Structure 1
Amino acid sequence: MKTFTLSVILLTALATQAHASSSEAWAALDKAVVTRCTQASGLKKPKAVGTAAQFDDRVGYVALLLQGQYPQPHMKGQTGTELCLYDKQHKTAYVTEWDSIRPALPRK
């Protein structure tokens, strides 16, 4: 959990304040990030962990942690974590395994 907290603090520190946009525009971006990232994920039933980290427009990316189960039979449903980077300009998502950080999914 300490690693997760540290990662969130680092991602937040790297993100700068966004320019003014409508709340509808932010909601649409958030939805697009979650949709594209979960589609790009190799995990079964991927879910966003926390909220996305918005980087400065000069960077052009949004970061999102995902968590789900590995689909391979030999993994026996083990939980996996991925980091997704969403390219705002091209509206594409890039995912990499990031099991070194083990955030807990929020309770339902």
Structure 2
Amino acid sequence: MSRPRPAAFLLALNCVALPWVPPATASTPDAWSDSQRAVVQACVRASNLKNAQAGGNVIEFDDRAGVTAVVIAGRYPQRHMKNRPGRELCVYDKETRKAYVSEADSLLTPGR
């Protein structure tokens, strides 16, 4: 009786084992769009600016950081601010799904 060749054995093992391997999950383009839309919506709700909207693209950090960021642009609602344009930096916690904003007018300083 001859011994089975290793390649044939591995092929047979794969044929038997593969049906029990769960399919790999990957994010679809639609899932990424939905995620980014949720970040922007949460950040706009957390913003103190009127007519708030994303002032740029969503910035995805490494999963180890657990956050996503986006700049929110709008206008200051306070009377003394005279409807001046403003920016806020929003950091979105992926685990809690909460958005935190802070004034960011000095984030990009011209000439530096």
TM range (shorter): 0.7 to 0.9
- Residue aligning to 2:89: 83
More strand by share: 1
Distance of 1:80 and 1:27 partners within structure 2: 26
- Distance in structure 1 (CA, Å) of the matches to 2:37 and 2:73: 17
- The one of 60, 67, 71 aligned to 1:61: 67
Could you tell me how far apart the structure 1 residues matched to 2:55 and 2:86 are?
12
Structure 2 residues without counterparts, runs of 5 or longer:
1-25
Give 1:58's aligned amino acid.
R
Are 1:36 and 2:47 matched, yes or no? no
Larger Rg: 2
- Give the AA of the match of 1:52: V
Task: Decide which of 95, 98, 102 is 2:101's aligned counterpart.
Answer: 95
Provide the aligned length of Structure 1 versus Structure 2: 85
- What amino acid is the match of 1:47? Q
2:58 aligned with 1:52:
yes
SS of 1:74's partner is helix
Alpha-carbon offset, residue 101 of structure 1: 2.9
Which residue identity does 2:63 align to in structure 1? D
- For CA contacts below 8 A with separation 6 or more, give which structure has more relative contact order: 1
Q: What's the CA shift string for 1:40-73, capped at 9, x where partnerless?
A: 0000011111111100111110010011110101
- RMSD value, Cα: 1.7
4+ aligned runs moved over 6 Å, structure 1: none
Q: Distance in 2 between matches of 1:27 and 1:57?
A: 17
Note the C-alpha offset of 1:24: 1.5
Opposite residue 83 of structure 1, the aligned amino acid is: L
